[in-house]
Amino acid sequence: MNIKAGLMKKDKRAAARLISMMENGEAEAVQIIKECYSMTGHARIIGITGPPGAGKSTVTDKLAKELRKTGKQVGIVAVDPTSPFTGGAILGDRVRMTDLSCDPGVFIRSMGTRGALGGLSKAVHGAVKILDIFGMDYIFVETVGVGQSEIDIVKLADTVIMVMVPGLGDDIQAIKAGIMEIGDIFAVNKSDRDGAERTVAEIEAMLDFNRSDEYRPPVLNIIAIDNSGITELLELIEKHWEYQNKSGSCEQKKTNRLRTEIMDIFRDTVMRTVYNLSDDTNIIDVLVQKVMARQLDPYSAADRLMEEFIKKPTA
């Protein structure tokens, strides 16, 4: 199968295979994305995050269906946790998106975190680019169920929707640092349950502390399973997009995002080079033994590793 030609012809198999190659760290996949990078930048990237069981997959499913009514092409990347013990994973987000499986204008990909801790997987950036090249108008990135500090989604999404549910904690939870700071829109799902109004009030109170008076993230009650509030949520996504374009914050966000991405890729390259170096020379093991015997301290060991790294001609 010629992957690049397939991708150009909008062959879903080619796109799917390319995403796997990215996940498995194959150099050929990176090469294809390099060649096609000029075709990216079309899609709007929407992050869906929130605690486990909040309804992220259901919200994604309903938003995608709404967009399909207007003929938009929709990509979905859904991340679930990989077991740190076995490397296995149950990727179950598709269970809520069954009706979208056979829609030719939709592509859904499930991914395991494979050791990443920020709520996404390392290959998500690549997968989003691939779906962008594929021609998707909207790409939803659904994070793993998050706790308090998995905020990698801000490095990727144009708009982040924080899906909350009633009854998870009090107002102290809402003013803690971390995920509560990254929502561009707050959707309180399962709003037919007790405590929904209180949850909204707590989020609103938290937002009252925000310094920026330019944009205040809206808080919306929804019941995703009944499709209640979904069109309103979509309108809020559009409003946020308009605001970003008008205020210039979109440019700023994109610049910051690219800077982070380049540095992340660079850091990965450095780490890979160092590990390859160690495969050849065993240098890490040697240094560990020396520190163990107190002949060397860990700081000097790291300096030595850096010296070896600099000496190495770039591969």
Partner 1 sequence: MDRPIRVVVAKPGLDGHDRGAKVVARALRDAGMEVIYTGLRQTPEQIVETAIQEDADCVAMSILSGAHNHLFPKVVNLLKEKGADDVLVVGGGVIPEDDIPGLVEAGVAGIFTPGTPTSVTIDFIKDNIKRK
Which residues would be at the binding site for partner 1 (CB under 8 A)? Answer: 12-13, 16-17, 19-20, 23-24, 82-83, 86-92, 94-95, 98, 101-102, 107-110, 112, 114
**In this complex, which beta carbon is closest to partner 1, that of residue 24 or of residue 300?**
24
Tell me, what DSSP letter sits at residue 270? H
**In this complex, which beta carbon is closest to partner 1, that of residue 25 or of residue 195?**
25
Q: How far is the CB of 91 from partner 1 (least distance, A)?
A: 5
**In this complex, which beta carbon is closest to partner 1, that of residue 73 or of residue 244?**
73
Q: Which sign does the torsion angle of CA 234, 237, 241, 242 carry?
A: positive
Q: How far is the CB of 2 from partner 1 (least distance, A)?
A: 13
**In this complex, which beta carbon is closest to partner 1, that of residue 5 or of residue 95?**
95
109 has which bridge partners?
77
- The pair of three-digit structure tokens given for residue 106, joined into one six-digit string: 């939709």
**In this complex, which beta carbon is closest to partner 1, that of residue 77 or of residue 187?**
77
Q: How far is the CB of 121 from partner 1 (least distance, A)?
A: 11
Exposed, middle or buried: residue 204 (CB in 10 Å: 0-12, 13-18, 19+)? middle
Q: How many CB atoms lie within 10 A of CB 105?
A: 16
Q: How far is the CB of 102 from partner 1 (least distance, A)?
A: 5
Angle subtended at Cα 24 by Cα 75 and Cα 111, rounded to the nearest 5 degrees = 40
Q: How far is the CB of 108 from partner 1 (least distance, A)?
A: 6
**In this complex, which beta carbon is closest to partner 1, that of residue 129 or of residue 155?**
129
Contact yes or no for 159/59 (Cβ under 8 A): no
Exposed, middle or buried: residue 298 (CB in 10 Å: 0-12, 13-18, 19+)? exposed
Give, in order, the Cα–Cα distances in Å from 213 to each of 217, 220, 239.
10, 19, 16
Q: How far is the CB of 99 from partner 1 (least distance, A)?
A: 9
Those residues whose C-beta lies under 8 Å from the C-beta of residue 307, and which sit 6 or more positions away, are none
Q: How far is the CB of 3 from partner 1 (least distance, A)?
A: 11
Exposed, middle or buried: residue 19 (CB in 10 Å: 0-12, 13-18, 19+)? buried
**In this complex, which beta carbon is closest to partner 1, that of residue 82 or of residue 189?**
82
**In this complex, which beta carbon is closest to partner 1, that of residue 30 or of residue 91?**
91
Q: How far is the CB of 225 from partner 1 (least distance, A)?
A: 15
Element (H, E) at 164: strand 159-164
User: CA–CA separation, 39 vs 253, rounded Å?
Assistant: 20
